[in-house]
Amino acid sequence: MIHVGRGLYRPSDWNFELEAAARALSAASPGAWVSHVTAARLRCQLLPPWLADSTELHLSKPRALPSVRRRGVLGHTVLAREDEIESIDGIRISTRSRTWLDMARRLSVSDLVCMGDQLIRIPRVDFEGRTHPYDTLDGLRSLVGRHPNLQGVVRARQALDLMRVGADSAPESLLRLAMADAGLPEPDLQLVLRAGDALSPTADLGYRHWRVAIQYDGEHHLLDAQALSDRRRDKAFEAAGYTVLILQKDDLADGFQQAVARIKRIVRTAGLDHPHRSGFADAG
């Protein structure tokens, strides 16, 4: 066994395993809780690629307790309410919402938007086993309001203004932000082809006004069954007079710059073909 810190030991042949490390740290640190990147990874919250495989161990403590002084552990002394911390399977850990706020000190506004969009999205009960989002915009605003002096709180406020219900993935959030930066009107999210029809196909985002449907197809869309379903979805939109734009990881790689230019051209054409549809001037 190798001594890691006060009350902490690990086998000499130990390979890093986040949950086991967090559990040991939590057990050895009464009154403290796992937080920041460690909490985000344990909960599978959306993180940018450069943090997605982080092995950092973060531990937070209230001001009343001594500072964290463990080798290999990044300690934080913070103000947190009891409802911002919970115990999950024996590990004291910050809530998803509090973790999002803690990450504001480190993430960019766009990464905070992606992480926040995941918190407020409406879940698909058949796949996720839950019916309510993890939080709401109002709930997150209330949380931010309770911590006006927290490092990164300004970025958190900026992210709140840009977050929207309806983005199911980080690429969808980043695409929406790229469209906004380019001056395009705000798109509809989870655009339903046939309103009121529970079986209606949907587009990740788009413009009903201009009959434009935009899909971001990640790697799982390459599977044969999913590809067939996607094609039926796209044909349904096309039959209803929509222009369908399919985006993939190559579009994400350049920050959706080429994709946004294509969307602008499509919207411009739609506006010219249908001059009674007002508002195109906003698209630049």
Q: Count other Cβ atoms within 10 Å, centred on residue 246.
A: 14
185 and 206 together in one domain: yes
Domain count, the chain: 2
Distance CA 259, CA 257 (A): 5
190 and 270 together in one domain: yes
Residue 160: the pLDDT is 98
Find the radius of gyration of the CA atoms of the chain: 22
CATH number at residue 223: 3.40.960.10
* Residue 70, domain extent: 2-162
Instruction: Report residues of the chain scoring pLDDT below 70.
Output: 1-16, 219-225, 272-284
Residues 6 or more apart in contact with residue 132 via CB below 8 angstroms: 123
Contact (Cβ atoms closer than 8 angstroms) between residue 193 and residue 237: yes
Residues 6 or more apart in contact with residue 46 via CB below 8 angstroms: 114, 115, 117, 118, 170
121 and 180 together in one domain: no
pLDDT more than 90, % of the chain: 70
Residue 281: the pLDDT is 45
Q: Name the domain boundary from 139, 162, 185.
A: 162
Residue 10: the pLDDT is 47
Residue 69: the pLDDT is 72
11 and 130 together in one domain: yes
Q: Name the domain boundary from 162, 197, 221.
A: 162
Residue 274: the pLDDT is 54
Tens digits of per-residue pLDDT, 219-252? 654 555 677 888 999 999 999 999 999 999 999 9
136 and 206 together in one domain: no
194 and 107 together in one domain: no
For 166, the 3-state DSSP assignment is: coil
Residues 6 or more apart in contact with residue 131 via CB below 8 angstroms: 123, 125
76 and 152 together in one domain: yes
249 and 118 together in one domain: no
- Residue 159 belongs to what H/E stretch? helix 153-162
62 and 178 together in one domain: no
Exposed (0-12), middle (13-18) or buried (19+): which is 31, by Cβ within 10 Å? exposed
27 and 158 together in one domain: yes
Q: Name the domain boundary from 114, 146, 162.
A: 162
7 and 77 together in one domain: yes
61 and 153 together in one domain: yes
